[in-house]
């Protein structure tokens, strides 16, 4: 069994997907059509908005109602904002709220905890409400993380959160209504609200105010904040546009030059390096005069001619490229031409083309690209078809591996070389051959960022090795499989946890790697670079399972566990400290046929019945109630006595009964496979859709995804496809710009 100790993976990878077509079949009733003619777009943290013939549409994350459609349900397709007058002239999307400008008035919707909607209250709303107290006709609006700003009668006004002075009114008091910025004399011609700071063009000069911990105000200082505007230093020409991001800012100058300042850890200043700058520095590699700029979380973009050039972080493909993790100089986004406008968000961008369509690329976890897709699959998808001969599977945090005739295939995140490709690459969105393995492994396992397999009785491991989890006698990572040192011949099973690994060899248990919590089972708490024998398990062991920081085994039909026990996952009626040697799980002294150690809980099959114990904060014990924990094995409710396989993950568990798969616990990203909305709970076992009578009994759980081998030798997976873990080509991150679409129902004979 493999399981990750950490839900989130660092640095996402890139994948090339086909462009969305302008017309595709849609459930027999309509077609997917381009969101056009779009006159402008604005991107927030995890949602976006666009204007189409004066009407506002939004899509993506919607926890606070920031889509404005009267609900809090995320939308992978653009939906119309409710409560706005027509025509809308401008839109601005922030983190949890959005605003629109129409006929000199401003409407906002979404999160309002800090008064950022400007209606005098702190009540969030899922439809548009008018901003009160503007005191004149507004000509521009800009939304930040938790505050909003506008140009009113050539002056700047802001409202919302003001803890860092981002409202510029000389105080740190939140404002529920627009308040004047204490700006220098001169007409305000542009304003932009960032995460915790704000910038504007005043009298042709760039000014910023608010948080300055990283020098993002550009006045030559850092590590402070200011609640009134300060002039940006180092700009050689008048500013036309200034764009604050999270911890950096950029300005477009007359003549087309672009200058940036602030934090630069990802090269987002475009200066050729990663040295921060508290004053403006020229962007390199533009290749011409820019006409517009946009800033994201740790990346920036510029419109040069009719092409887009971006620089900085590329972890989520926001630079539009497949083969780099980032760039400290500007580079062209492939596949884009005839661009007339650009906008950026934390992990992505959109461009408006001359034909009035929108193209978006980058992170797509919540449908931010507006192309009708998101990252999660709440029902199984076919990774390998029937007849593929899949024999064993192992899932890690954000990667997966499967044994097939003639070798091993892995897919998903490869930032730590857990895929065994023999070369560094960020991802493999489709099953890819592991180098050096030409025979089908009999056992496969995936961990947090390493993998192992048993081939002809030999254990091979690869990937991250910072704790010695590869068992090769050193701490050097491996891009390709390497034989574990010191193990006797005849290994039959391998199982790995977060940063330790275990194997079953001729009925004896061995473990290696991280040992601080006693998970190696040798009576010690030290790491081991090579396998050590588990105390008392020199014979009679039929299965072993490495969890995040604890390990379990079956010896002569009895369940034994050891390692971290803070949630009772060892099953010995204790919920504290560590257990450095195998200890009996109470009540499971005989008849145990399967066992699985998860992150903070454990499950087993005894005499055909399912049992789970440990942490139960999300219903992962399957007993129908939410308990803090059970320190001894407790029966899973409603499964009967014909269970043939069981698996424990992070906050979920799954089992096979009568060749059908059932899961229970937390459904973060569709990992229960029952079609439920994400972020839901199931306290009792629920059938996985489409897997009735199909499962062969081999299951594996990764970070937030699950896979099952079918009776016909195929493989089905479901859950989070965040980094390509499902092996279907990955849709969460797109390096190629996709057309934003909306669903229109075509009426036939007056009936939809």
What pLDDT does residue 369 have? 58
Query: Does the pLDDT value for residue 752 go beyond 50?
Result: no
| pLDDT tens, residue by residue, 248-282 | 999 999 999 999 999 999 999 999 999 999 999 99
CA of residue 453 relative to chain centroid, distance: 27
Nearest to 66 by CA among 367, 372, 373, 375: 367
Burial class (CB in 10 A: 0-12, 13-18, 19+), 520: buried
Distance, in Å, from the CA atom of 639 to the CA atom of 742, rounded to the nearest integer, reads: 43
Q: Which CATH number describes the domain made up of 36-374?
A: 2.130.10.30
Distance, in Å, from the CA atom of 494 to the CA atom of 516, rounded to the nearest integer, reads: 20
| pLDDT tens, residue by residue, 282-313 | 999 999 999 999 999 999 999 999 999 999 99
Lowest mean pLDDT among 37-51, 442-456, 484-498, 636-650: 37-51
Helix (H) or strand (E) holding 179: strand 175-180
CB-CB contact of 392 with 403 (8 Å): yes
How far, CA to CA in Å, does 576 sit from each of 6, 255, 548, 601, 691?
Answer: 21, 66, 16, 14, 38
What pLDDT does residue 667 have? 85
Distance, in Å, from the CA atom of 661 to the CA atom of 645, rounded to the nearest integer, reads: 9
Q: Which residues contact 601 (CB under 8 A, 6 or more apart)?
A: 567, 569, 612, 613, 614, 615, 616, 620, 621, 648, 653
Query: Does the pLDDT value for residue 363 go beyond 90?
Result: no
What pLDDT does residue 372 have? 53
In DSSP notation, 633-686 reads: EEEPTT-TT-EEEEEE-SSEEEEEETTEEEEEEEESSSTT-SSPPSSEEEEEEE
Domain 377-737 has CATH 1.10.1760.20: no
Distance, in Å, from the CA atom of 215 to the CA atom of 220, rounded to the nearest integer, reads: 7
Residue 358 bridge partners (DSSP): 352
Stretch 614-632: mean pLDDT: 91
Distance, in Å, from the CA atom of 682 to the CA atom of 379, rounded to the nearest integer, reads: 15
Confidence of residue 36 (pLDDT cuts 50, 70, 90): low
Query: Does the pLDDT value for residue 125 go beyond 80?
Result: yes
Buried b (16+ CB within 10 A) or exposed e, 488-515: eeebbbbbbbbbbbbbbbeebbbbbbbb
CB-CB contact of 418 with 461 (8 Å): no
Confidence of residue 38 (pLDDT cuts 50, 70, 90): low
| pLDDT tens, residue by residue, 101-122 | 999 999 999 999 999 999 999 9
Lowest mean pLDDT among 211-225, 318-332, 499-513: 318-332
What pLDDT does residue 361 have? 82
pTM beyond 0.95, yes or no: no
Instruction: List the strands of the sheet with 715-720, edge to edge.
Output: 376-384, 715-720, 705-710, 695-701
Stretch 5-14: mean pLDDT: 24
Residue 465, token pair as written in the block: 């090795």
Distance, in Å, from the CA atom of 201 to the CA atom of 237, rounded to the nearest integer, reads: 12
- Is the pLDDT higher at 430 or at 646? 646
Query: Does the pLDDT value for residue 562 go beyond 70?
Result: yes
How far, CA to CA in Å, does 121 sit from each of 104, 222, 605?
Answer: 21, 34, 55
How far, CA to CA in Å, does 334 sit from each of 318, 339, 518, 573, 736?
Answer: 12, 12, 51, 59, 7
Degrees to nearest 5, angle at CA 260 with 258 and 262: 175
Write out the residue limits of the CATH 2.130.10.30 domain(s) in the chain.
36-374, 377-737
Distance, in Å, from the CA atom of 656 to the CA atom of 691, rounded to the nearest integer, reads: 10
Share of the chain above pLDDT 70, in %: 88
Residue 45, token pair as written in the block: 């943290």
**Secondary structure of 100-165 in HEC code, one letter for each residue:** EEECCEEEEEECCCCCCCCCCCCCCEEEEEECCCCCCCEEEEEECCCEEEEEECCEEEEEECCCCC
Helix, strand or coil for residue 627? coil
């Amino acid at each position: 069994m493999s399981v990750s100790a950490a839900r989130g993976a660092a640095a996402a990878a890139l994948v090339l997907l086909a462009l969305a077509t302008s017309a595709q079949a849609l459930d027999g009733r309509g077609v997917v059509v381009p969101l056009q003619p779009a006159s402008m777009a604005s991107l927030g943290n995890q949602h976006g908005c666009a204007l189409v013939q004066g009407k506002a549409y939004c899509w993506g994350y919607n926890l606070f109602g920031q889509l404005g459609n009267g609900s809090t349900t995320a939308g992978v397709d653009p939906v119309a904002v409710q409560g706005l007058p027509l025509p809308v002239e401008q839109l601005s999307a922030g983190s949890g709220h959005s605003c629109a400008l129409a006929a000199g008035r401003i409407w906002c919707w979404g999160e309002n905890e800090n008064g950022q909607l400007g209606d005098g209250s702190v009540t969030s709303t899922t439809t548009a409400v008018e901003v009160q107290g503007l005191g004149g006709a507004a000509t521009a609006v800009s939304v930040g993380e938790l505050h909003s700003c506008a140009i009113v009668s050539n002056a700047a006004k802001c409202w919302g959160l003001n803890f860092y002075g981002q409202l510029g009114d000389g105080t740190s008091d939140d404002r529920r209504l627009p308040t004047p910025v204490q700006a220098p004399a001169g007409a305000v011609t542009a304003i932009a609200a960032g995460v915790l700071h704000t910038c504007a063009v005043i009298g042709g000069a760039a000014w910023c105010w608010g948080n300055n911990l990283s020098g993002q105000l550009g006045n030559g200082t850092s590590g402070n904040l200011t609640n009134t505007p300060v002039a940006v230093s180092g700009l050689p020409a008048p500013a036309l546009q200034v764009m604050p991001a999270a911890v950096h800012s950029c300005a477009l100058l007359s003549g087309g030059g672009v200058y940036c300042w602030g934090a630069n850890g990802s090269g987002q200043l475009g200066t050729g390096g990663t040295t921060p700058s508290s004053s403006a520095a020229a962007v390199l590699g533009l290749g011409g005069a820019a006409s517009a700029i946009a800033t994201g979380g740790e990346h920036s973009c510029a419109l040069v001619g009719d092409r887009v050039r971006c620089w900085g972080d590329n972890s989520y493909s926001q630079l539009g490229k497949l083969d780099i993790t980032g760039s400290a100089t500007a580079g062209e986004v492939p596949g884009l031409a005839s661009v007339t406008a650009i906008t950026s968000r934390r992990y992505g961008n959109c461009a408006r083309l001359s034909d009035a369509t929108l193209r978006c690329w980058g992170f797509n976890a919540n449908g931010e690209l507006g192309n009708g897709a998101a990252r999660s699959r709440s029902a199984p998808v076919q990774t390998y078809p029937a007849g593929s001969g899949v024999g064993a599977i192992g899932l890690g945090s954000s990667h997966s591996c499967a044994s097939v005739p003639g070798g091993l295939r892995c897919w998903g995140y490869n930032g730590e070389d857990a895929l065994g490709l023999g070369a560094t690459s960020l991802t493999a969105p489709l099953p890819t051959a592991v180098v050096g393995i030409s025979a089908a492994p009999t056992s496969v396992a995936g961990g947090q960022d390493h993998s192992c397999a048993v081939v002809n009785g030999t254990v091979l491991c690869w990937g991250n090795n910072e704790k010695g989890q590869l068992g090769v006698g050193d701490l050097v990572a491996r891009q390709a499989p390497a034989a574990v040192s010191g193990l006797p011949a005849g290994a039959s099973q391998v199982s790995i946890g977060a940063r330790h690994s275990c194997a079953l060899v001729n009925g004896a248990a061995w473990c290696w790697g991280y040992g601080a919590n006693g998970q190696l089972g040798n009576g010690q708490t030290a790491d081991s670079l090579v396998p050590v024998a588990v105390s008392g398990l020199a014979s009679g062991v039929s299965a072993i399972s490495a969890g995040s920081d604890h390990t379990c085994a079956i010896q002569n039909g009895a369940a034994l566990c050891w390692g971290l026990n803070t949630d009772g996952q060892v099953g010995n009626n204790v919920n504290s400290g560590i257990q450095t040697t195998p200890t009996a799980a109470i009540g499971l002294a005989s008849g145990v046929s399967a066992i699985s150690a998860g992150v903070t809980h454990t499950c087993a099959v005894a005499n055909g019945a399912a049992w789970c114990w440990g942490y139960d904060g999300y219903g992962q014990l399957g007993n129908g109630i939410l308990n803090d924990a059970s320190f001894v094995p407790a029966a899973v409710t409603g499964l009967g006595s014909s269970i043939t396989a069981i698996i424990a993950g992070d906050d979920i568990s799954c089992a096979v009964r009568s060749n059908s798969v059932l899961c229970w616990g937390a459904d973060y990203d569709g990992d229960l496979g029952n079609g439920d909305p994400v972020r839901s709970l199931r306290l009792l076992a629920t059938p996985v859709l489409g897997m009735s009578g199909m499962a062969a009994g081999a299951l594996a759980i990764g970070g937030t995804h699950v896979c099952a081998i079918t009776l016909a030798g195929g493989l089905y997976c479901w859950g989070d496809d965040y980094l390509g873990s499902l092996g279907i080509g990955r849709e969460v991150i797109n390096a190629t710009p996709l057309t934003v679409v909306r669903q229109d129902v075509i009426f036939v004979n007056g009936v939809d």
